[in-house]
A and B are shown apart, each in its own frame.
Chain A
Amino acid sequence: MTTAEPLLDVRDLRTAFLTDDGIVGAVDGVSFSLDAGRTLGIVGESGCGKSVTNLTIMGLNPKTARVSGQALLRGEDLLQAAPRRLREIRGNEIAMIFQDPMTSLNPVHRIGDQLVEAVLLHNDISHAEAKARALESLEEVGIPQAARRIDDYPHQFSGGMRQRVMIAMALINDPDVLIADEPTTALDVTTQAQIISLIAQLQKEHGTAVIIITHDLGVVAEIADEIVVMYAARVVERGPVDELFERPSHPYTWGLLGSLPRLEADVERLAQIPGQPPSLLAPPRGCRFNPRCPYAFQRCHDEDPTLIKVSGTDDHVQACFLDEGTKAREAAKTLSAAAA
């Protein structure tokens, strides 16, 4: 698909929170774009700013957030939009599902009513019509006996079923973009696979563009077209999924790939990235990964790396000073170790 303008274009997004301890730069110059119907995976450790990035796009940050940059939805900057316009967009053009389905539904309202609310907020139709649509979408996400279950309360559903309800609620107004913030983290493994394939299937049927946030590279490999790797509030590598898995170009990405568990591999311990992510109150100078990077040299401590193209590609960028020869060698080592 080649359109001149991407559906969602995020440019140099920055989000800072004023706290009692100082300013926390939770998102620091993040850029990416998303075309209609495509899937973008945002990967990184907890606290790297991947959730805040998307909450910022949705305008759902707490009031203490200071935001700059642009988030253009079909050319309209969401960060500048009036609250009323933003409410029209939320749940209608961009919808979101969250990490914990156990707490994301209101415990005192029937799930049918919560779905109907989502419909009525954006459509001028009768309650009965809204309820019919709610039932339809519950059936679509595979809730068994949906007609009977529609009047149940959230606590009467299992975690996986609740996440299905959340998906039904997010897709009920047929949005252009679905943001899924760690949609499977709180679920058990078999349910995880079901939810991911449900999202993929519905995406195909509705032509929805999806941003999937996760710390699980396995999930991204399955459904994403493009991957953004974030570390300490910044993007460290971005590229098409095949390209990135074939030629990972940042030591942090190698670390993530190396720590993927493989069923066929007979290892005593999973590989891990040593150390902790830095505090965003006072991030390290230079490359933010340098305290944990085994390849770090003087330049990494002195200079802020910027995203540069990996040679021979159009859309694969990375932020590491290592020369390409070393990278090719180390990447090959990581990949063969992971595959072994």
Chain B
Amino acid sequence: MDPKQIAEIEVDVLLESIRLRYDYDFRHYARASLKRRVQNMLVKENLQMPYQLIPRILYDQSIFDRFLSEMSVTVTEMFRDPSFFEALQETVFPALKTYPFFKIWHAGCATGEEVYSLAILLKEAGLLDRARIYATDYNNHSLKIAKQGIYRSENFEDNTKAYQRAGGKNQLSDYYTQQYDAIKFKDSLKDNITFAYHNLVKDGVFGEMHLVVCRNVLIYFDKDLQNHALTLFDNSLARRGFLCLGSKETIDYSVLKNSFESQSRSNKIFRKNN
């Protein structure tokens, strides 16, 4: 057998071990990115081959926790793609305004920067009091950071610029307090946000949503798992609900292509048909 095929088997056996031991299923993650993460993990653990991880992960929960951190996408910024947030305000907010109360699911929120971005814009539109935002992730460590809402202040000049380009009406600094090299978002932003564990691979619908935001998560999934997650979003959304994906993600070739219409092609905002 070709050594490359054997290396693939090694990764398969590692993923199967993790699934059986910890009930996390990474088999339908996009393979090339997954293998990079495994490779990063090997370097950090001072190992050479994926098979060497198997006994360690099976018998040592702390190594699995580190693997989980390695696997979960934690690169996120405030107001990433300002044009998306601009379009969100123009396209989605007017529809949300027609509801006395509405629900938003932010799936794969990682460390929470985008959730706070969304909450700030809702507040400026006078909509935050009517909103319940469910921000979910499968990485409990990321969720803990998101819940605290404390971030290093070094990026905040960029964040302030992005906030302004996204159509922010005030000063970003109105929403946080600064201490030394950290900023903390005010509790008034958090009152309407519920941070919770949810794994798109195995967990189901938990409420009827008016808006689902899931950006730069699906690119890490293979076609099957993408369709699985999109079906979950479809089943979660109320009639005429909105779905927002990352700038390089689309429903065009998916199971949802006929049940949603595009509201902003470049900003990947889709709306559910009846």
- The reply to whether chain A is a binding partner of chain B is no
Chain A residues near B (Cβ < 8 Å) = none
Point out residues on B near A: beta carbons under 8 Å. none
